[in-house]
Amino acid sequence: MSNDIAIIGAGMHPWGKWGHNFVEYGVAAAREALADAGIPWQDVGFVSGGATVRCGYPGYVAGATFAQALGWQGCEVNTSYAACASGSQALAAARNKILAGACDVALVIGADTTPKGFLAPAGGYRPEDPDWVRFYLGITNPTYFALYARRRMDLYGDTLEDFAAVKVKNSLIGSKNPRARYRKCFTAEDVAASAMVADPLRLMDICATSDGGAALIICSADYARRIGKADAPRIAAISTVTPSFASAVVEMPDIATDSAAAAGIEAHSFRAALPVKAYEEAGIGPEDVDVAEVYDLSTALELDWIEDLQLAPRGEAAQLLRRGDTAVGGRIPVNPSGGLACFGEAVPAQALAQVCELTWQLRGECGDRQVAGAKVGITANQGLFGHGSSVIIKR
Amino acid sequence: MNEKPQAPAIEGWFTMDDKPRLIGTQCCACGTYFFPKQQRYCKNPDCDSTDFREVQLSRTGRVWSYTNACYKPPAPFVAAEPFEPYTIAAVTLEEEQMTVLGQVVTGVNVSDLKVGMAMELVLEPLHETDDDIKMTWKWRPLAEQGEQH
């Protein structure tokens, strides 16, 4: 029990395209999380921030930026950068600080403001930069997601209708989430009528980028007990493992995979490896999971994640979807928040937003979106440069 | 007929002959292949070699997956006007046990491809400059499959 870290507060600034400074979103999320926990800001001994690389120097030192915005009070700070897993890495740093006995209460926080237009690499002739190479050769971000989606179609028989059904499912539940950016219910016809971007993915199969901010207050089991929150959801595992060589899936921004030609080297899937450590650390298996928040950068990718989390055998996620198992009310609801389909990605905040949703689900506070009786939740996400994470919380 | 000379879009990444091949490296100690070339350190966690030889990679492989680009990518991509969608494939090389991305030759669509299909490497123009035609590698369905003529 001494290793249990409690989540006593969660807060989010609604996702959108508000155009404000990222600090504003983070402060709003932090204040909501503090109020949710019912503790004063002065009790926080450690601020662990997820870096945003799009917002200049204050974004590189996000932990300090948020601590200053909330009012310097002498706590310690940390900033983590791990692409889409930045929030989870910041959470892990805070958990470790508490486990080491160096503080009782930590604020974990991430926020971002997305720029307008396409994110393109710097110009010139720079073949040493894989991002420059792939754009020069005509390989954009949707290319990678479309390759994964098409492979599902050819190998497992997934259809365009399956992918559209993921969007329909997520938009229906996301329409009930006041923190989501997109709250319109879309039909399969709406998806089919949207423009093809990278066959088989259409515009409505692919998530947008958003502004947003998310925050958690976590603390030692002793502190939770002292303030009468002994039954708060607990962090059962945080996995932020790197890939294992040789990575067999071509990943953004690379033009080729690792080679698995050397003796003793096997091809590995990074996504599938992420939850393995989380399950081990939590001492549970996929059969114990009640609800999952996964990184649906595309509709088809939600199906990949369901299999990577071992919630369905490889190739069978679409069958779960067709049976309604992954909708709220089904056997294993996936993305009851509405997922990235309804939020759009706010990189340093997104992994924390996933944990916020699970926290509220495990407390039974999600109203129309509630997964009945949820006791164990898992998150999964993957970003660039070998970063990814999977977090398990339980109550 | 365009009279500008042909030049590789990226210098030293592939041969410029009739049967072109990608140019990579191979670790002299463990045999791991690298594309693009890797010459300073081996990425195999069981190997600390700093010794590499330049190698030409297999010019045929099988489709891992495929898609297309319906919208014009941003620079440094140089798009034709009007923009023409193009097909893209990820092709797995058996010997090297690696998968390499590339455009698919003009005229081949997504509906012409299937996971597992045999492909070969060819060269096609990527774009033109004032001085030359920048050539790149592309994947093309291997003629031998299906009916043999």
Instruction: Give the pLDDT confidence of B14-31 residue by residue, as tens digits.
Output: 999 999 999 999 999 999
pLDDT given at position A119: 65
User: Under an 8 A CB cutoff, do A262 and B31 touch?
Assistant: yes
Per the domain annotation, does A172 fall within a domain? no
Q: Give the residue among A225, A220, A167 at the shortest CA–CA distance from A46.
A: A220
User: Under an 8 A CB cutoff, do B102 and A199 touch?
Assistant: no
Chain A contact for B52 (CB, 8 A cutoff) = no
pLDDT surpasses 50 at A113: yes
User: Do the beta carbons of residue B121 and residue B60 sit within 8 Å?
Assistant: yes
Helical H segments across chain A, by residue range = 22-37, 57-60, 62-70, 86-99, 130-136, 141-156, 160-174, 188-193, 221-226, 270-282, 299-308, 317-323, 339-343, 347-362
CB atoms closer than 10 angstroms to residue A150:
28
Task: Report which of residues A288 and B2 the model is more confident about.
Answer: A288
Going from N- to C-terminal start, the domains of chain B cover 9-141
pLDDT given at position A2: 53
Mean pLDDT of A31-54: 97
pLDDT given at position A360: 98
User: Under an 8 A CB cutoff, do A199 and B110 touch?
Assistant: yes
Q: Residue B120 and residue B143: Cα distance in Å, rounded? A: 9
User: Under an 8 A CB cutoff, do A260 and B95 touch?
Assistant: no
Q: A276 φ, ψ to 5°?
A: -60, -50
pLDDT surpasses 90 at A24: yes
Cβ-count burial A41-55 (b if 16+ within 10 Å, e if not): bebbbbbbbbbbeeb
pLDDT given at position A1: 43
Q: Residue A117 and residue B74: Cα distance in Å, rounded? A: 10
User: Under an 8 A CB cutoff, do B97 and A267 touch?
Assistant: yes
pLDDT surpasses 70 at B1: no
Largest Cα–Cα distance of chain A, in whole Å? 61
pLDDT surpasses 70 at A38: yes
Helical H segments across B1-149, by residue range = none
Average of per-residue pLDDT values in chain A: 96
For an interface test with A, which of B99, B110, B113, B134 has the most A Cβ atoms less than 10 Å from its Cβ? B99
Mean pLDDT of A346-358: 97
Mean pLDDT of A6-11: 98
A175-221 pLDDT tens trace: 999 999 999 999 999 999 999 999 999 999 999 999 999 999 999 99
Per the domain annotation, does A327 fall within a domain? no
**Chain B residues inside the 8 Å CB shell of A201:** 67
How do A5-16 and A234-239 pair as beta strands?
antiparallel
Chain A contact for B86 (CB, 8 A cutoff) = yes
Number of domains in chain A: 1
Q: pLDDT band at B34, cuts 50/70/90?
A: very high
Per the domain annotation, does A219 fall within a domain? yes
Q: pLDDT band at B144, cuts 50/70/90?
A: low
pLDDT surpasses 60 at A92: yes
Q: Residue B73 and residue B147: Cα distance in Å, rounded? A: 36
**Chain A residues inside the 8 Å CB shell of B77:** 135-138
pLDDT given at position A117: 61
pLDDT given at position A118: 59
CA distances from B136 to A139, A232, A360 (A): 13, 58, 52
pLDDT given at position A55: 87
B66-122 pLDDT tens trace: 999 999 999 999 998 899 999 999 999 999 999 999 999 999 999 999 999 999 999
B53-76 pLDDT tens trace: 999 999 999 999 999 999 999 999
Task: Report which of residues A362 and A55 the model is more confident about.
Answer: A362
A108 DSSP β-pair partners: A48, A216
Positive or negative torsion for Cα A141, A144, A148, A151? positive
User: Under an 8 A CB cutoff, do A136 and B47 touch?
Assistant: no
A213-272 pLDDT tens trace: 999 999 999 999 999 999 999 999 999 999 999 999 999 999 999 999 999 999 999 999
CA distances from A65 to A50, A51, A68, A110, A346 (A): 11, 10, 5, 11, 18
pLDDT given at position B3: 83
pLDDT surpasses 60 at B145: no
Percent of chain A with pLDDT over 90: 94
Question: Which amino acid type is present at position B12?
Answer: G
Chain B contact for A196 (CB, 8 A cutoff) = yes
User: Do the beta carbons of residue A204 and residue A167 sit within 8 Å?
Assistant: yes
pLDDT surpasses 50 at B147: no
Nearest residue of A to residue B31, measured between CA atoms = A262
Q: How far is A286 from chain B (nearest CA, A)?
A: 29
Query: What CATH number is given to the structural domain containing A89?
Result: 3.40.47.10
pLDDT given at position A82: 94
Chain B contact for A146 (CB, 8 A cutoff) = yes
How do A234-239 and A196-198 pair as beta strands?
unpaired
A295-305 pLDDT tens trace: 999 999 999 99
What is the extent of the structural domain holding A90? 5-117+210-226
User: Under an 8 A CB cutoff, do B101 and A139 touch?
Assistant: yes
With a CB cutoff of 8 Å and minimum separation 6, the contacts of A97 are A45, A46, A48, A76, A78, A103, A106
Q: Residue A17 and residue A211: Cα distance in Å, rounded? A: 5
